[in-house]
Structure 1
Amino acid sequence: MNIKKDDIAGVILAGGMGRRMGGTDKGLQNFRQAPLALHALMRLSGQVGNVIINANRNIAVYEGFGVPVICDKQTDFAGPLAGMHAALSHITEPYLITVPCDVPQFPLDLVERLAEPFSRQPDLQLTVASTSGRTHPVFCMMKTEVFESMEEFLSNGGRKIDAWYAQLKHQAVDFGDETAFHNVNTLDELRALEKQAKQP
């Protein structure tokens, strides 16, 4: 049975400290005259039933994008896993898909392809995007039943997404275009990507 779009919530992870970008709020840096997080929102919103943004500062600005904004429940900027945890605490849908705010050209069929293995494997708990054998852990789809294992992992000091999901029934899904997952960590990388970016 295929998963319905309305059964999937999406979260855009914009709660980081942007250390390598001089401490600026990465999600609000412009790419083609629009904030990176807004690009992620526009790409994801057509693929899922509900989208939220995870942010820990500039909340009012993110709320201006027209979707709910949630903060980490952890208070120590615990990384993207903390944003996933906050999203799982908030949503009511049975599935969550996560995307970072700093990859403005991720695939428009991301959700469809990450959802497909769940239809064939009832015990599957999580799928993760990969290219050329390299996984992209921030691009993953999970059943909301994984919340307790994530909470325990975080409470024990865990931070790495792939170390957490290694204990789950998971599967990597290969995407052919590695450039679609190109993220930006510095303002120079952002400008370089803007120059070479393909039109959507």
Structure 2
Amino acid sequence: MELTGILLAGGKSSRMGTNKAFLVIEGERNIVRLKRKIERITKVLLLVTNDPQNFSFLELPMIEDIKKGQGPLAGMEAGLTTSQTDWNLIVACDLPFFDEKVVHVLIEKAKAAPEAQAIVPVIDGREHPLYALYHKSALRLVEENLSLGKRRIRDVLSQLRVEAITTDDLLKAKMTDVEIEKAFFNMNHPEDYKWANSQNFE
């Protein structure tokens, strides 16, 4: 399956107090770590940011939100509008333990559910919509919600044909409980970053 990677780097990082994309993990900016990993599994990687000058060092195709100030849903709109593939991997920039094995499970679920418009991890009852696959056909509902002033990804998911992957799916793919827990850990607060830096890495 050909995938376009859509890496969202447009957040204000107000809770962290600094740009989460530039946090250093194991001597490397997290955005660089994500680029390296996502490029291995996607045909094209797009970076969605409203500050392209700050990310030029990545040498990636960059796109800005069509509707500014509307949160990650606007980033999804920009990415899906630009994408040339049916399926797209949309990822937030605050995942220090992004795991390609999760993506392979998402892809297998998409292959088994041809009518789906989104494949979203649901781990311990919590959706992870920014570590998920979206079909190009989801764009229409993303656009409609934004045009109505609705910015919540959850609202869009409630209108799409969504298939979930669960902890059981990941365990069947030979991921451990620890790998699963870390894969979905995101850095929102300074203490999250401190914890991430205390862990063992790949």
Same fold, TM exceeding 0.5?
yes
Structure 2, unaligned stretches of length 5 or more? 171-179
Structure 1 residue runs of 4+, over 6 Å off?
Answer: none
Distance 1:50 1:136 in 2: 22
**8 A Cα contact 1:96 1:143, kept in partner:** yes
**8 A Cα contact 2:30 2:94, kept in partner:** yes
Distance 1:35 1:67 in 2: 15
Deviation at 1:110, TM superposition (A): 2.5
Question: Is 2:196 aligned against 1:193?
Answer: yes
Deviation at 1:61, TM superposition (A): 3.3
Name 2:185's counterpart in structure 1: 182
Distance 1:47 1:110 in 2: 11
Distance 1:33 1:20 in 2: 23
Structure 1, unaligned stretches of length 5 or more? none
Deviation at 1:145, TM superposition (A): 1.3
Name 1:125's counterpart in structure 2: 117
Name 1:65's counterpart in structure 2: 58
Name 2:175's counterpart in structure 1: none
Taking only the aligned residue pairs, the percentage that are identical comes to 27
Distance 1:171 1:98 in 2: 15
SS of equivalent residue, structure 2 residue 195: helix
Letter in 2 for 1:55: T
Structure 1 residues 92-131: aligned runs within 5 Å: 92-131=84-123
What do residues 32-79 of structure 1 show as CA deviations (whole Å, max 9, x unaligned)? 22212111111211111111111122x233121121111111122x11
**8 A Cα contact 1:10 1:51, kept in partner:** yes
Name 1:87's counterpart in structure 2: 79
Name 2:4's counterpart in structure 1: 9
2:14 to 9, 13, 19: 19
Name 1:158's counterpart in structure 2: 150
TM-score by length of structure 2 reads 0.88
Aligned-residue CA RMSD (Å): 1.5
Deviation at 1:111, TM superposition (A): 2.2
